Structure 1
């Protein structure tokens, strides 16, 4: 679904109004608001979301008709969750005819629980005139349910857009559940569910609707898998918000925001999650997405503050704690992250998700010897699969214990002999340790056939050929891998080594120099520096 969403013009064009306004130039901002405006820009760049919003508020107050100030105030207010400032800024932009296309979502969220139907209808009508109109039919259906109308009528037209069709189908199934037609709703929903995050979110929404109607067994039948919130709701079934526009809107916008979460946060990303929270302030799934977006934008303090608001007794509490570890680590606060991760994983019967997170953090800190025992704990548990043995073997290999690593990697291979990741790691490791070279090359050839566009596998096969004296075959493979993944230091080093061996010394030094710039450790950087200086 992520690819579909990014490729959908409706979602790709939502910041056109922002660009049009800002392109009319920041230099149009005049006194007396200029000082506050400039302070806000600096705070924004530094990830100080609340401070930036406060200064934009002051700038907008001093120049209430300036669209340049208003658009930046609007975006920062949305990031900060300052709905009052966002509404004021949106009013300025509306008067100037440059209202962002996602603004009706925030307006609709403000009125989702109101008795007055006129305000939500105005927001929906405004949404119909934007590229985000693909959300209109599901939102109108939830509004119809809220107002005792006919939700089916709003969903009667089959959209031409594949993404819109998906939203309509999911909404139809959930509304059937909300109307109390439980068996029919579950039957409509099951064909739409998979193993992705969107399906997990939809399972939870459906289960809550069923739990609210006392259908706990049917709810449990949807709550499959070991995702922490699914397990938590399965073990402690409880409903939260009654079905209606607030519930449906908050679910839908969170579901869309989740699909967009893998990319760089945009104005739309923030509007989706903040509108979801405005419609339903108890939506902790949206809160997790908001914290993740803020973290990616460098607003670490604000991201951690958002996680503090997650219900400690709710189904997302464990994910909020794990998210805190991840945010601290990504912000370079590794010792804080490590202390928290160690605390979470310390009980011998602790949550295996916490064990996994601590092991991953040790690897991130280049401490494979500390990671290996934790990965072993995961690999030796009941139900472990090839991936558990692969990460255990990889940690042992990085720690320098090749005999133990080889044994663990063989376990991974025995469980998944055609899995490209297993074939690639084991084949490459055998080549590096000068063992069973022909067999290793054959493994890498099988991996390359299974994933021909994977640069890591392409490089591994090229390196195996080079190590076995087949340089003419090796070079184009490694060149292709380097072109596909130019920031991979290992591939760049391999390319330099091959160039040097065939006498292309200038290109070799260029490849090594480029690889050194992205080296992950000082040891690798020092090795590359030596090659640049002295060759092979």
Structure 2
């Protein structure tokens, strides 16, 4: 193939598993919802399962008041307020007492620490953090917050103690970055630099550590060293927007970035456990940490991007878009936010809105903005304009980039300029000979054209070995067997592809063709009719309709031609 919540079950569940039909069908604005604590509870659950956290928080708090402070409703109201980003209210509703669930109490204590820190009540935050109640899974977050809370309370020596947690390398690494900043804050610059050098050692230091150490060098008046350091980082990764921006700032002699404030440092400290929770598929806990981070530093762009992603995944499209729109135009993450925003409109079927956003971002001249526009143009079959943009990007590239040649090759192939497309795709494959997607695309193109079939078969087999769970790639292998006349084998492999990509119209069309060629004509007709229910493009639709009417005929015929 060429193509490659928040339910109220518990404080940590994002998916709407608890929402019953009765709840989901309830209109939260209906008067019946206000007739009782139960009605408001249902309305709150419905809003929560739909991702409307702020609305849920209002209904659930009303339900809590009507119920006389029922602990289970209080816990749900706490969850809704936290997910909506109302940290002050969440802190007030934090579960406590013998009837509250232990997970909710642990998270509640962490929320109280952040709420106090946000109000500049460092001693209150420190006292709350000193309790023994912030246990699993929040120990890492509490450990990373500890030095910043100490700093907020005026405990300088305590702030310089590096947080460590056995078995948690994230706490060790990000704790050392935080310690470096706090050493700098205490004017212990040699010790700060020792930490910065430690976290940037190795062949591939992280973007975070590069920016932290580079900013430190600039603040110390060592601009030439900072420039040299940024240049070394850009040599490793020329496309890094944040480092490029830092290098441009230093080269222009502009003011260096300020050292993080206590709140900013604490907000940064919460990003590491948030990312860990995302990796562990604990999306609700990740979102909670991100909301806490943003309560301390509302301009934290990477946090807004992560919130947007989580809200989109939970089905709250508008909430996700609102988060992406929080990223300021001056932030290094702005192009990424605009790209995500544009693709959200594309996924929603608003192609004009998606292209309008992408054109506005591309008009700034930003490279990633132009690349996003070219991708959206290809997705909307506006290949000629996409090719023009890609021509410019390729001409400007200091070193050949296989992704650009691959994208242009796809667009050229779709416009019928096969020889040019083949040249681009072959060049991209020469640069990335083991890239499964490339092997599949070029191999499939040759297979579909009836060219270099044995070579193409080998390429697709290599792609399948690299990515055995891709229905699109397995379809290419099945279609190769079809084109070589091994229809029985084609059926076997194409059935696997359909199992993996049941909603793909082209794979279903291919399986129908293979069924026909082995004499299973009723099943072939079923597959072709199924294609028409899967939103096929005009070419695949017309081909399916013709085959339903006429079949494939006595001779093999390539689907889609």
Q: Distance in 2 between matches of 1:341 and 1:50?
A: 30
Q: Distance in 2 between matches of 1:409 and 1:20?
A: 45
Residue 126 of structure 2: aligned partner: 120
1:155-174 equivalent positions in 2, closer than 5 A = 155=163, 159-160=166-167, 164-174=168-178
| 3-state SS of 1:400 partner | coil
Q: Distance in 2 between matches of 1:486 and 1:170?
A: 43
Residue 108 of structure 1: aligned partner: 113
Q: Distance in 1 between matches of 2:11 and 2:37?
A: 28
Residue 15 of structure 1: aligned partner: 12
Residue 148 of structure 1: aligned partner: 156
Q: Is the 8 A contact 1:177 1:206 kept in 2?
A: no
Bigger Rg, which one? 2
Q: Is the 8 A contact 2:140 2:273 kept in 1?
A: no
Q: Is the 8 A contact 1:14 1:132 kept in 2?
A: no
Question: In the comparison of the two structures, how many residue pairs are matched?
Answer: 512
- Return the offset for 1:395: 1.4
Choose from 388, 392, 402 the match for 2:404.
Answer: 388
- Return the offset for 1:342: 1.8
| 3-state SS of 1:117 partner | helix
Q: Distance in 1 between matches of 2:100 and 2:484?
A: 69
| 3-state SS of 1:289 partner | helix
Q: Is the 8 A contact 1:487 1:518 kept in 2?
A: yes
1:22-421 equivalent positions in 2, closer than 5 A = 32-44=36-48, 47-91=51-95, 96-97=100-101, 100=104, 101-112=106-117, 114-123=120-129, 125=131, 128-144=134-150, 147-150=155-158, 155=163, 159-160=166-167, 164-179=168-183, 180=189, 181-191=191-201, 194=204, 199-208=206-215, 211-214=218-221, 216=223, 221=229, 224=234, 225=237, 226-236=239-249, 238-240=256-258, 242=260, 244=262, 246-258=263-275, 266-346=283-363, 350-382=365-397, 383-421=399-437
- Return the offset for 1:132: 2.5
- Return the offset for 1:385: 1.4
- Return the offset for 1:376: 2.8
- Return the offset for 1:346: 3.8
| 3-state SS of 1:469 partner | coil
- Return the offset for 1:280: 2.2
| 3-state SS of 2:62 partner | helix
Cα deviation digits, residues 104-147 of structure 1 (max 9, x gap): 33222212364543533424645542323243433334445553
Query: Given the superposition, is the C-alpha separation of residues 343 and 281 from structure 1 closer, same or farther in structure 2, using an over 3 Å criterion?
Result: closer
Q: Is the 8 A contact 2:436 2:466 kept in 1?
A: yes
Q: Distance in 1 between matches of 2:209 and 2:149?
A: 19
Out of 418-427 and 183-192, give the one that drifted further: 183-192
Q: Distance in 2 between matches of 1:98 and 1:17?
A: 18
Query: Given the superposition, is the C-alpha separation of residues 186 and 129 from structure 1 closer, same or farther in structure 2, using an over 3 Å criterion?
Result: closer
Q: Is the 8 A contact 1:212 1:239 kept in 2?
A: yes
- Return the offset for 1:409: 1.8
Q: Distance in 2 between matches of 1:216 and 1:168?
A: 29
Q: Distance in 2 between matches of 1:330 and 1:214?
A: 48
Query: Given the superposition, is the C-alpha separation of residues 345 and 279 from structure 1 closer, same or farther in structure 2, using an over 3 Å criterion?
Result: closer
- Return the offset for 1:271: 0.5
Cα deviation digits, residues 309-330 of structure 1 (max 9, x gap): 4334343344343343233333
Q: Distance in 2 between matches of 1:461 and 1:178?
A: 57
| 3-state SS of 2:396 partner | coil
- Return the offset for 1:433: 1.4
Q: Distance in 2 between matches of 1:409 and 1:18?
A: 41
1:509-524 equivalent positions in 2, closer than 5 A = 509-512=525-528, 515-524=531-540
Q: Distance in 2 between matches of 1:282 and 1:473?
A: 57
Unaligned runs of 5+ in 2: 1-9, 27-32, 184-188, 251-255, 553-561
- Return the offset for 1:517: 4.3
Cα deviation digits, residues 191-227 of structure 1 (max 9, x gap): 57858xxx33454455445555555555552654323
Give TM-score, length-normalised by structure 1: 0.81
Query: Given the superposition, is the C-alpha separation of residues 406 and 58 from structure 1 closer, same or farther in structure 2, using an over 3 Å criterion?
Result: same
Q: Is the 8 A contact 1:397 1:405 kept in 2?
A: yes
Q: Distance in 2 between matches of 1:426 and 1:61?
A: 64
Query: Given the superposition, is the C-alpha separation of residues 132 and 261 from structure 1 closer, same or farther in structure 2, using an over 3 Å criterion?
Result: closer
Q: Is the 8 A contact 1:21 1:98 kept in 2?
A: no
Q: Is the 8 A contact 1:173 1:188 kept in 2?
A: no
Cα deviation digits, residues 235-267 of structure 1 (max 9, x gap): 2364345354x3443223223434555898842
Q: Is the 8 A contact 2:141 2:273 kept in 1?
A: no
Residue 6 of structure 1: aligned partner: none
- Return the offset for 1:391: 0.9
Q: Distance in 1 between matches of 2:156 and 2:442?
A: 61
| 3-state SS of 1:236 partner | helix
